[in-house]
Amino acid sequence: MKNNRERVLDFVSQFPGRDDDEIAAALKINPRQTVNMICRRLCEERILRRERGPRGKLVNFASEHKPLVSQPAIKEPQQTSGAMSEDEVKSALKTKLEGEGWSVEVA
Protein backbone atom coordinates (compact mmCIF):
# COMPACT_ATOMS: atom_id res chain seq x y z
CA MET A 1 0.00 0.00 0.00
CA LYS A 2 1.31 3.46 -0.93
CA ASN A 3 1.94 6.14 1.68
CA ASN A 4 0.36 9.61 1.39
CA ARG A 5 3.49 11.10 -0.18
CA GLU A 6 3.44 8.51 -2.97
CA ARG A 7 -0.31 8.93 -3.45
CA VAL A 8 0.02 12.72 -3.74
CA LEU A 9 2.90 12.45 -6.22
CA ASP A 10 0.97 9.93 -8.35
CA PHE A 11 -2.12 12.15 -8.29
CA VAL A 12 -0.22 15.30 -9.29
CA SER A 13 1.50 13.39 -12.10
CA GLN A 14 -1.87 12.25 -13.42
CA PHE A 15 -3.76 15.50 -12.75
CA PRO A 16 -1.36 18.46 -12.96
CA GLY A 17 -2.46 21.91 -11.87
CA ARG A 18 -4.55 20.87 -8.84
CA ASP A 19 -4.43 22.78 -5.56
CA ASP A 20 -3.91 21.21 -2.13
CA ASP A 21 -7.65 21.25 -1.33
CA GLU A 22 -8.49 19.39 -4.54
CA ILE A 23 -5.78 16.82 -3.88
CA ALA A 24 -6.86 16.27 -0.27
CA ALA A 25 -10.50 15.83 -1.30
CA ALA A 26 -9.71 13.46 -4.17
CA LEU A 27 -7.39 11.29 -2.06
CA LYS A 28 -9.49 11.61 1.12
CA ILE A 29 -6.51 12.81 3.16
CA ASN A 30 -7.41 14.60 6.39
CA PRO A 31 -6.49 17.07 7.63
CA ARG A 32 -5.91 18.99 4.40
CA GLN A 33 -2.72 20.49 5.89
CA THR A 34 -1.14 17.05 5.47
CA VAL A 35 -1.29 17.52 1.70
CA ASN A 36 0.10 21.05 2.03
CA MET A 37 3.10 19.77 4.02
CA ILE A 38 3.71 16.94 1.55
CA CYS A 39 3.53 19.27 -1.48
CA ARG A 40 5.79 21.87 0.13
CA ARG A 41 8.38 19.19 0.92
CA LEU A 42 8.20 17.76 -2.61
CA CYS A 43 8.68 21.29 -3.94
CA GLU A 44 11.74 21.81 -1.71
CA GLU A 45 13.11 18.57 -3.14
CA ARG A 46 12.30 19.88 -6.65
CA ILE A 47 10.06 16.90 -7.35
CA LEU A 48 7.02 19.18 -7.61
CA ARG A 49 6.65 22.75 -8.73
CA ARG A 50 4.08 25.04 -7.09
CA GLU A 51 2.81 28.18 -8.79
CA ARG A 52 -0.10 30.56 -8.50
CA GLY A 53 -3.06 29.23 -10.50
CA PRO A 54 -5.86 31.12 -12.23
CA ARG A 55 -7.94 31.34 -9.02
CA GLY A 56 -5.00 32.68 -7.02
CA LYS A 57 -4.30 29.43 -5.16
CA LEU A 58 -1.04 27.49 -5.39
CA VAL A 59 -1.33 24.59 -7.80
CA ASN A 60 1.03 21.65 -8.14
CA PHE A 61 2.90 20.17 -11.10
CA ALA A 62 5.43 17.38 -11.44
CA SER A 63 8.75 19.10 -12.18
CA GLU A 64 8.80 18.18 -15.87
CA HIS A 65 5.61 20.19 -16.63
CA LYS A 66 5.89 23.63 -18.19
CA PRO A 67 4.68 26.72 -16.29
CA LEU A 68 1.16 28.08 -16.88
CA VAL A 69 2.56 31.42 -18.10
CA SER A 70 5.65 31.78 -20.24
CA GLN A 71 8.47 33.50 -18.42
CA PRO A 72 10.01 36.65 -19.92
CA ALA A 73 13.64 36.59 -20.90
CA ILE A 74 16.10 38.26 -18.55
CA LYS A 75 16.67 41.79 -19.77
CA GLU A 76 20.14 43.17 -20.11
CA PRO A 77 20.91 46.18 -17.92
CA GLN A 78 20.06 49.50 -19.54
CA GLN A 79 22.74 51.52 -17.78
CA THR A 80 26.07 51.96 -19.51
CA SER A 81 28.00 51.22 -16.30
CA GLY A 82 26.84 47.59 -16.45
CA ALA A 83 25.08 47.93 -13.10
CA MET A 84 21.47 46.76 -12.84
CA SER A 85 18.74 48.72 -11.11
CA GLU A 86 17.01 47.15 -8.11
CA ASP A 87 13.91 46.39 -10.24
CA GLU A 88 16.06 44.75 -12.91
CA VAL A 89 17.77 42.57 -10.30
CA LYS A 90 14.41 41.56 -8.83
CA SER A 91 13.00 40.76 -12.27
CA ALA A 92 16.04 38.73 -13.32
CA LEU A 93 16.13 36.77 -10.07
CA LYS A 94 12.37 36.11 -10.20
CA THR A 95 12.64 34.80 -13.77
CA LYS A 96 15.59 32.56 -12.92
CA LEU A 97 13.97 31.07 -9.79
CA GLU A 98 10.62 30.49 -11.50
CA GLY A 99 12.45 28.75 -14.33
CA GLU A 100 13.83 26.37 -11.70
CA GLY A 101 10.36 25.66 -10.34
CA TRP A 102 10.18 28.08 -7.40
CA SER A 103 7.11 30.20 -6.66
CA VAL A 104 8.22 33.82 -6.27
CA GLU A 105 6.46 36.96 -5.13
CA VAL A 106 8.42 40.19 -5.52
CA ALA A 107 7.89 42.79 -2.78
95 vs 37, higher pLDDT = 37
Q: Is the pLDDT of residue 12 over 50?
A: yes
Number of CB atoms found within 10 A of residue 80's CB? 6
Specify the range with the lowest mean pLDDT, choosing from 3-7, 39-43, 100-104.
100-104
Residues sharing a CB contact under 8 Å with residue 9, sequence separation 6 or more, in sequence order: 42, 47, 48, 62
pTM of the model: 0.59
